[in-house]
Amino acid sequence: MSENARPFIISTDTTADLPEDFVKENKLTLHRLHYIVDGITYGDDCELDIKDFFDRMRNGATVSTFATNPDKSKEIFRKQLSDGYDILHIAFSSGLSSAYSNSVMAAKEVLPDFPGARIEVIDSLCASGGQGLYVWYALQLQKQGKSFDEVLNWLKENKLHLCHSFTVDDLAYLHRGGRISKTVKIFGTLLNVKPVLHVDNEGKLVPVTNVRGRKKSLIGLVDQMEAHIGNFRPEDKNAMIIITHGDCIDDAEFVKEKVKERFGYTNFMISQLSPTIGSHAGPGTIALFYLGNER
């Protein structure tokens, strides 16, 4: 860092699905996306216990979501700039939410009041633990003493190497979100078909393949990892692998063990889906994230 460079903060959205202890340890600022359960809005001072949230979904609660509040983001940015920091904000995929555009809007409105300060808002094109892993790498580089621009350039160069693989246990939630048709939902449920999906280069959630049965779908996530990890398979077996889940920790542990067996990795972060992601994917969702050759 040059003598005149301002210190910088890395921030992100709640959709990064990072564990609470990790957020606290790294003093990570989160811009909150909101969710509505049976007419009540949550996401700021009022939060549902995550298990309660998924139980309500299982019992048929009406759930919807909306993006970050630009006024709240302006408030956060203004405070951090006032404290003397530049800001590198890693936003939820523009292919899935308006959170990125809202953060860009907030930054543009705040910056004129702070000549010489910087806010860079990165469209992660990632969701859930993919976004979380993107943040994790940015924080590691910052801890190594890399400058604002060095971290920013790494993020730009490696964005499309953040690989995502998802599977869901109940097709009803994907149907509600418009990801699959009613016919696919009905016949998929009858035949016990489980989709394996990923987030593509446009940051959108798209299906990759279908398998019969839950166990095969979980192994399918690891098969997708085999296909996409390519030349990015690190020699360092401590490279971070993130697994997120919708209130199904045993399945997350199963996927972890399969990844360890097949690739030898030892460094894992397992966390719950946030309500924003969980609202669209549903309880029983499992997602696997890693740095790979291609998405």
Same domain, 50 and 126: yes
Q: What three-state secondary structure class fits 211?
A: strand
The per-residue pLDDT for 235 is 62
The per-residue pLDDT for 195 is 79
Same domain, 91 and 217: no
Spatial contact of 34 and 45, defined as CB atoms under 8 Å apart: no
Question: Could you tell me the mean pLDDT of each successive run of 10 residues in the chain, 295 residues long?
Answer: 76 97 97 95 89 95 91 97 98 95 98 97 97 97 97 96 91 60 46 78 85 92 92 68 98 97 94 94 95 89
Same domain, 27 and 154: yes
- Alpha carbon distance 107, 114 (integer Å): 11
Same domain, 24 and 151: yes
Same domain, 155 and 12: yes
- Report the 10 Å Cβ neighbour count for 1: 12
Q: What three-state secondary structure class fits 249?
A: helix
Q: Indicate the residue type of 45.
A: D
- Number of domains making up the chain: 2
The per-residue pLDDT for 190 is 45
For 184, the domain range is 161-291
Packing angle, helices 148-158 and 129-143, rounded to 10: 150
Contacts (Cβ under 8 Å, ≥6 apart) of 242: 129, 130, 132, 133, 136, 268, 269, 270, 271, 288, 289, 290
Same domain, 136 and 197: no
Same domain, 223 and 271: yes
Asked if residue 2 is part of any domain, the answer here is: no
CATH number of the domain residue 252 falls in: 3.30.1180.10
Same domain, 168 and 262: yes
- Report the 10 Å Cβ neighbour count for 115: 6
Same domain, 149 and 225: no
Same domain, 45 and 139: yes
Contacts (Cβ under 8 Å, ≥6 apart) of 81: 87, 110, 111, 113, 114, 117, 119
CATH number of the domain residue 21 falls in: 3.40.50.10170
The per-residue pLDDT for 45 is 76
Domain boundary among 159, 187, 217: 159
Asked if residue 3 is part of any domain, the answer here is: no
The per-residue pLDDT for 192 is 64
pTM, two decimal places? 0.91
Same domain, 197 and 277: yes
- Alpha carbon distance 241, 289 (integer Å): 6
Domain boundary among 159, 193, 220: 159
The per-residue pLDDT for 187 is 41
Same domain, 144 and 182: no
The per-residue pLDDT for 233 is 63
